[in-house]
Structure 1
């Protein structure tokens, strides 16, 4: 699941997205055309279908937020998730651009995001005489403290706009950060990595009264041959 699909699932609660892999066992008449389009576009959007590529280009050409609004998104994102050394925070993770994209990709979100940004500036101007992005950190925290909790007994869509806005921004900020390169680095997640397998421990073999065949173990657990591709004879015997 890619970053865009992860966010769609988080926000809308939809079904999990597919992996984007094309399996030869499921070929259709259009598979070759799709495979070709994916190959040609792999440098830009790996694993996208032609329809997805067309939609992505369309969304890239649109603009939802102006410069001031993007700066305000950046300002509230670092209040929600302060930057940490050495990897940085939401700005380094590209959260403002991601919020821009998701607001276009899921149009239902746009009114809440735009209305919430207007509310932030109105609140900040009323209480502190300056727009939200120019307020001090303590002033920003004071504003956010008023809207960061919501009544669990009341459906979110029935609560004030500013409550819905902060809930949405918090989800976008945190999920956007931890699906980014810097966020994954901050987690220290290394993913699947190769290890060295040298067979079942001897004490376990002894416990069950079994042992490896010397010829087989020499072929299968010799780490000097770990990059050798296995070959079999016609009767299923391992040759290498």
Structure 2
């Protein structure tokens, strides 16, 4: 699977998974209770009740070591290391996936069932579990379920791979290396220096130069304008 050719599809999959994962917010009663207080700069956008629940989920284990090893291999096949980024496992994607299935139990059976299917498929083809076969053989199986024929798209393997792919993409591109890979800068402030001159000229308008000195001075951008002594 070529990373450069597949990333566009993977990012779109991540968009789909944002809807997939949003059910944990829309389908559950809000954990925020009356009297909850969020201390400024002490949280990453979570209430105390939510942080307590996160800690509880992190303390539990769902996947076995073998299942986590399989998830790690799948993650790095979907997003491997290249000149511009690290592997998915280096960003904590397997741990992210385990957290999600603990947070959203309805996904535990489909993901675990898919891992069991993958193990059986590997044994059927190569007489070894997925974690024990060569990288070439692993890719043979993954290529088959990642690019299925039309009549196979609704079979267990392709459905499982689609779900895992969405989780991997979501986990990766919400990590710090993922942000850097996309060159995502968030709400980065910039400097607006007014309407371009050619647009003003087109409409027969121009700025008052005295006004520009006051209103368009980047050094004063954080100050509240006082118009009391300014005459238009």
The answer to whether the superposition gives a TM-score over 0.5 is yes
Of structures 1 and 2, the one scoring higher in RCO (CA 8 A, sep 6+) is 2
Match of 1:111 in 2: 109
Checking the alignment, whether the CA contact within 8 Å between 1:9 and 1:16 is kept in structure 2 is no
Q: Deviations over 1:37-69 (max 9, x none)?
A: x217x54x4222233223222211221112221
Give the SS at the match of 1:134: coil
Matched with 1:51 is 49
CA apart distance, 1:167:
1.6
What is residue 118 of structure 2 aligned with on the other side? 120
1:66 aligns with 64
Consecutive unaligned residues in structure 1, runs of 5 or more: 1-5, 18-28
SS of alignment partner, residue 39 of structure 2: helix
Deviation digits for residues 167-186 of structure 1 (CA, Å, limit 9, x no counterpart): 21111112221121111211
How many residue pairs match? The answer is 211
* 1:86-97 matched pairs, under 5 angstroms: 86-97=84-95
Q: Distance in 1 between matches of 2:162 and 2:146?
A: 7
Distance 1:213 1:139 in 2: 71
Query: Is residue 122–residue 130 contact of structure 2 (8 Å, CA) maintained in 1?
Result: yes
Q: TM-score, normalised on structure 1?
A: 0.74
The aligned counterpart of 2:162 is: 167
Q: Residues 221 and 82 from structure 1, CA distance in 2 versus in 1: closer, same or farther, beyond 3 angstroms?
A: same
Report the more deviating stretch, 132-141 or 121-130.
121-130
Taking a change above 3 Å as real, the CA distance of residues 15 and 210 of structure 1, as seen in their structure-2 partners, is farther
Instruction: Give the secondary-structure state (helix, strand or coil) at the position aligned to 1:79.
Output: helix
- Separation in 1 of the partners of 2:22 and 2:192? 40
Pairs within 5 Å for 1:1-240: 9-11=18-20, 14=23, 30=34, 33-34=35-36, 36=37, 38-39=38-39, 43=42, 45-149=43-147, 159-233=154-228
Question: CA 1:238–1:55 in structure 2 vs 1: closer, same or farther (change >3 Å)?
Answer: farther
Determine the C-alpha separation between the residues in 2 that align with 1:16 and 1:113: 20
Structure 2 length as normaliser, TM-score?
A: 0.76
Inter-CA distance 111–229: structure 2 relative to 1 (3 Å threshold): same
* Alpha-carbon RMSD: 3.1
Report the CA distance shift for 1:199/1:52 in structure 2 as closer, same or farther (over 3 A): same
Q: Secondary structure at the match of 2:146?
A: coil
